[in-house]
Structure 1
């Protein structure tokens, strides 16, 4: 029996990369899984690989109605939401002088508003039970900025700020909050190669599992995972 047997986790952006790896490792610990992403075929493919109780719900995190339906489907299938992993994100051209306002809108809608929608959909039930865990996947780009990352970095700074504020809001409620900031990870949306070996998606998944399997009186607030 795994450490998370009987618990239910929603994982957004679960059709590939970090999200798929998080889903697989949570399932290995016995959790029921609710997988969310926009692409049905890839999402279903990930769900098929996972042994255990799993459902896939096509979801656009930039649409509040989709996010509310995701939580509703999770409740209908498993009765409660114990963990919400906000992993879905958009990485697009974000230099301010380029004026790519459509890219800015998509990143803000997915990376910030999508995180807020997800938290809003799951938090009431967690507060009612005095138990639950919100995990927000930010980025080292939320710690550091370069000349081509302005808007993307701004959205990830925002995720960190939301995480820090929410942890303070929820103190003594029984609901925990963890912010995880990955460095360069070998995924389809990774930035250009550096002189470091990139992390594997499973490296970030291990950080998620570490945070959510701590005793209920331990709240791991911030994890930064970088390549050596």
Structure 2
């Protein structure tokens, strides 16, 4: 662990998916401010350019459509081409499908499950050999409070996060012997573009109660997880607004 308290990630290289906005951008910002070089991965080239311009030379853009299987498979190789190695991988990219299952679009279900579950598994599969060879690494996956509570207004989304919760906890047990820590962050509702798909009445209720988190608050917890002594793994952090009522 780096003992520099002002730049605890100094010298490390991180990659964050879905990094052009929301939790991904906040996570990338926190890591840059902690001294890391960060590869921001996103398919939105324009938003990615704006994000990296804001964060400065320590932020490296990687335009990648993770839902394209061939592009997805190049993630590690392209990160290594940009930055030389990978110490931290934050699998953050995700989609949301809410509402009654009977009203859901099957194509939207496929797309969400592919990104929220399959892509995360493939990305982690992609980066693990590099970390195993080096004998060190951190993997954090953006999960959700929905992974711990069968949220009735989002059965498809919640199911994807339950799957990811199981994936994180099983892979963690396979790779800790290699010096690799795997954990997840499970926030309640966060003010991001994903909330645009929330039922209108639920969103208004949450806003009125002040029961929403800021993306920066989630990023602060991600940084906390990454900066613990190597002998400690924060397996999963469930965080929610104090006023949020399940």
Asked if Structure 1 and Structure 2 have the same fold, meaning a TM-score greater than 0.5 normalized by the shorter chain, the answer is yes
| Residues 95-104 or 212-221, more deviating | 95-104
For residues 12-51 of structure 1, what are the structure 2 equivalents within 5 Å?
A: 12-51=17-56
For residues 114-193 of structure 1, what are the structure 2 equivalents within 5 Å?
A: 114-190=119-195, 191=198, 192-193=203-204
- Structure number with greater Rg is 2
Q: CA RMSD in A?
A: 1.4
Distance (Å, rounded) in 2 between the aligned partners of 1:94 and 1:134: 31
Distance (Å, rounded) in 2 between the aligned partners of 1:202 and 1:86: 17
5+ long unaligned stretches in structure 2: 1-5
Give per-residue Cα distances to partners, 1:59-98, cap 9 Å, x unaligned: 2222332223232121112211111101100012453222
Secondary structure in 1 matching 2:60: strand
Give per-residue Cα distances to partners, 1:183-219, cap 9 Å, x unaligned: 1111122231412331110000001100111111111
Provide the TM-score with structure 2 as the length reference. 0.88
Secondary structure in 1 matching 2:177: coil
5+ long unaligned stretches in structure 1: none
Give per-residue Cα distances to partners, 1:12-53, cap 9 Å, x unaligned: 111111111000010001111111111110111111111342
Runs of 4+ displaced beyond 4 Å: none
- 2:218 is the counterpart of 1:204: yes
Provide the TM-score with structure 1 as the length reference. 0.95
Secondary structure in 1 matching 2:153: coil
